[in-house]
Amino acid sequence: MEINQKSFRILILFFAVVLLMISCQPAPPLQDARIETPALPEETKTDTSQSQDGDTQPEITSPQQPKPPQITEDSPFCEIIPNNLLIPICENGELAVTRSDDPRRVNLFFNRDVVFSADAIAIQAEITSTPPQGLQLDQNQYGIYMIDRDGIYHAVRVSGQYFNFETWSLEEGVKVESRYNRVFSPLLKPSGQNNHLELACANNLCEFNINGILAGRIPEGPTGIDHVGVFTAADWDQNFGSVIFKGFGFDEMDSNDSDKQTFKFSDELSEDQMTFSDRGLTGAFHSYKSDGFHFSPVVPFNFYSTATGPSLADISVEATITMEINPGVSGSQFGGIVCRASQEGAYMAVIKVDGTYTLFRDTPQRPLAVLASKASDAILPDREPNRLRLDCSGNQIDFFINGIQVASVTDTRYNLSFGRAGLYTKAGGDPKEDAIVFSNLIISELR
């Protein structure tokens, strides 16, 4: 069939249009050069930060910290470690630690902790300690701790009715790096009874609360925490019974927690406010009257002391003392005040009936060591009231009588850095009724 010239031109034009339309379509990408962007998750709560080793690790940026773990049979608290003579038993939300039947005489130590990162923290636990069956003396040691970002453990250790702050490492067994003086606390209930303990550290300040009441405070602590936990222990020559932990928990705190106000206590001593217990007054009569706390020793030349309030590191204690003073006349009776009273010792500042004063350091190694002693016109004679003040701050011990500084010493021997405050006396050779009257007691934390 012949195609005329006009029809041929139309056909050529048609093919040209088709070719033009095909050339305008986008070319498909090459398979080897394809780049695919993964879909983002709907919500992310993690960021990245560098660990101490320089590795990039996930870091929680959500304000919600992990909840304290429940104590169950499959929790980290209940893991049994071979060759450890202290055995965990978990049931009903409680962790009970007991000793195995192995008769070996070795130091015992058991600890469990969980990850928790914060700059400031409060840890709580309810703990019941019981001696072995048939024994009355409770020698169990136990406590709560936090681990800082340098791997140092900051702990409170309790045994019986005594406690102390300490730091340790676990590089080769338990190595105690530092320890504050061991102190008695009437807040600790005897063995077999439940004690609610709380260790709170914020802004280089750690405090220990027992059953909701401040028992001790130190001016140091971790600047950042990575783990929190509990522990039990016993020395090789001690009997271990059982320690039960329940209600273990922890909360992040504001690093500038304003609730930790400087401690201050005052009592006119004109009526019984339960400021003192009778623990240190065996062999003496005492009563409260409108002019103060009347002290009547009954044993010749005996020493008496009584303490109150929490244990503190830097402290000022004041009291007014009224007793018969005859300057230059020989006599052994004295009355005074005490700071940093602990199992390791105490500092005492007293005035004597002969018109002299003495500043003592009293320790088991050197009882009643004299740091300063002198006759002083600052002491008012006869039965005039004398106001005493003893400041214990760091290594500096200062004694004031009626506002006049009479002694100032720097003392580092035996490291008496922590304890309670109170009153201290010695009876004369012929004890008599109302020998000394104490009034207007003030205890202030120094910062």
Q: Which domains does the chain have, with CATH numbers?
A: 76-252 (2.60.120.560), 264-445 (2.60.120.560)
Q: Is residue 311 within 8 Å of residue 162, measured between CB atoms?
A: no
Instruction: For residues 405 and 411, give the distance between their C-alpha atoms in angstroms, rounded to a whole number.
Output: 17
Radius of gyration of the chain from its Cα atoms, rounded to whole angstroms: 35
pLDDT score at 173: 81
pLDDT score at 257: 57
- pTM, to two decimals: 0.81
Average of pLDDT values for 212-232? Answer: 94
Cα 155 to Cα 163, 169, 206, 236, 323, distances in angstroms: 10, 11, 10, 21, 44
Q: How confident is the model at residue 427 (pLDDT cuts 50, 70, 90)?
A: very high
**Owner of token pair 């009547």:** 296
Q: Is the pLDDT of residue 281 over 80?
A: no
Instruction: For residues 104 and 5, give the distance between their C-alpha atoms in angstroms, rounded to a whole number.
Output: 118
Share of the chain above pLDDT 70, in %: 82
pLDDT score at 94: 92
Cβ count near 193 (within 10 Å): 11
Find the helix or strand (DSSP H, E) in which 19 lies: helix 5-23
Instruction: For residues 210 and 221, give the distance between their C-alpha atoms in angstroms, rounded to a whole number.
Output: 18
pLDDT score at 5: 47
Q: Is residue 158 within 8 Å of residue 295, measured between CB atoms?
A: no
Q: How confident is the model at residue 369 (pLDDT cuts 50, 70, 90)?
A: very high
Average of pLDDT values for 417-435? Answer: 92
Q: Is the pLDDT of residue 368 over 50?
A: yes
pLDDT score at 70: 64
Cα 430 to Cα 238, 298, 333, distances in angstroms: 43, 9, 9
- Cα angle 379, 382, 383 (rounded to 5 degrees) comes to 95
Instruction: For residues 51 and 37, give the distance between their C-alpha atoms in angstroms, rounded to a whole number.
Output: 29
pLDDT score at 283: 79
Of 66-75, 289-298, 303-312, which gets the smallest average pLDDT? 66-75
Whose CA is closest to 438, among 231, 309, 297? 297
Give the residue, 393 or 172, on which the prediction is more confident: 393
Chain segment 91-138, per-residue pLDDT in tens: 888 999 999 999 999 999 999 999 999 999 999 999 999 999 999 999
pLDDT score at 68: 58
**Beta pairing partners, 142:** 158, 232
Q: Is 332 left (phi over 0), alpha (psi -120 to 50) or beta?
A: alpha
Cα-Cα-Cα-Cα dihedral sign, residues 391, 396, 400, 405: negative
Chain segment 254-280, per-residue pLDDT in tens: 876 545 689 999 999 999 998 987 766
Q: How confident is the model at residue 1 (pLDDT cuts 50, 70, 90)?
A: very low
Q: Is residue 294 within 8 Å of residue 284, measured between CB atoms?
A: no
Of 44-58, 71-85, 131-145, 202-216, which gets the smallest average pLDDT? 44-58
Instruction: For residues 83 and 86, give the distance between their C-alpha atoms in angstroms, rounded to a whole number.
Output: 9
**Beta pairing partners, 334:** 352, 426
Give the residue, 342 or 10, on which the prediction is more confident: 342
Q: How confident is the model at residue 10 (pLDDT cuts 50, 70, 90)?
A: very low
Q: What tokens appear for 421 in the block?
A: 């405050």
Chain segment 33-67, per-residue pLDDT in tens: 222 222 222 333 333 333 333 333 333 333 444 55
Q: Is residue 240 within 8 Å of residue 86, measured between CB atoms?
A: yes
What mean pLDDT is reported for the chain? 84
**Beta pairing partners, 233:** 109, 141
Q: Is residue 269 within 8 Å of residue 441, measured between CB atoms?
A: yes
CA atoms within 13 A on the CB side of 35: 1
Q: How big, in percent rounded to 5, are the helix, strand and coil portions of the chain?
A: 5, 50, 45
Average of pLDDT values for 231-238? Answer: 95
Q: Is the pLDDT of residue 23 over 60?
A: no
Cβ count near 249 (within 10 Å): 14
pLDDT score at 71: 73
CA 374 to chain centre: 38
Instruction: For residues 210 and 127, give the distance between their C-alpha atoms in angstroms, rounded to a whole number.
Output: 11
Average of pLDDT values for 317-334? Answer: 95
Task: Reduce the DSSP state of residue 27 to 3 states and report it.
Answer: coil
